[in-house]
Chains A and B, each alone.
Chain A
Amino acid sequence: QKEVEQDPGPLSVPEGAIVSLNCTYSNSAFQYFMWYRQYSRKGPELLMYTYSSGNKEDGRFTAQVDKSSKYISLFIRDSQPSDSATYLCAMSRYGNNRLAFGKGNQVVVIP
């Protein structure tokens, strides 16, 4: 079983819709949970991260972590064409240098 599972999609939504992305994981030691955004032919950029469980909101983006289910989610409200990108989830143990990445989920927001 892979440490991090992420459905690669692609996911197409109309502009203004809510985008829902998720990842599951198997390592219960993970404490940091991140979402990176990667535009085509660019490097990933950190969107947001949470430590341990709970929700975190940043503008139109909301990250949720459910450690009991080993499940994390990213929601994008009022999606815009500029949100079209690949979204990568990643996780790490506290004090560990290694990030375990999901495969990435391609999102296309149609104007």
Chain B
Amino acid sequence: NAGVTQTPKFRVLKTGQSMTLLCAQDMNHEYMYWYRQDPGMGLRLIHYSVGEGTTAKGEVPDGYNVSRLKKQNFLLGLESAAPSQTSVYFCASRRDGGVVAEQYFGPGTRLTVT
């Protein structure tokens, strides 16, 4: 049981490049989330999904897109990366019927945009 995994672990992008971050969970969780963590800012919600085929905006959605084509996967896309998107990105998931607090986090993806 791997829990929540994230790919890649590290990435360096040039301004204007695009990339996709992959989150996978093997716990059959309905809810999945993408956060970014910046020094002095705490964790902020980018987008989330309440089930396969659904997505919703979080606190800081601009510049990101997401897709949830399969229940176990949640993809975060950056179409045209900017230096302001340099951050550590965390994915999380939780089961339906659980409380919002019980989120399981992945190990993170460290992204640098130059």
Contact = CB atoms under 8 A, between A and B. Distances in A.
Contacts of A98: 45, 48, 58-59
Given A41-B108, A43-B90, A97-B48, A92 B101 contact: yes
A88 B99 CA distance: 17
Question: What range describes how many residues of B lie at the interface?
Answer: 20 to 34
A85 B103 CA distance: 18
B101 A97 contact: no
Given A43-B90, A97-B50, A103-B42, A32 B101 contact: yes
B2 to A, nearest CB: 13
A46 interface: yes
Interface string B5-20: 0000000000000000
B40 interface: yes
B62 interface: no
Interface residues of A, number: 24
Interface of B: 4, 31, 33, 40-45, 48, 50, 56, 58-59, 90, 92, 99-108
Given A43-B105, A97-B33, A102-B42, 11 more contacts: A4-B42, A8-B40, A45-B105, A92-B100, A96-B100, A97-B48, A98-B45, A98-B48, A103-B40, A103-B41, A103-B42
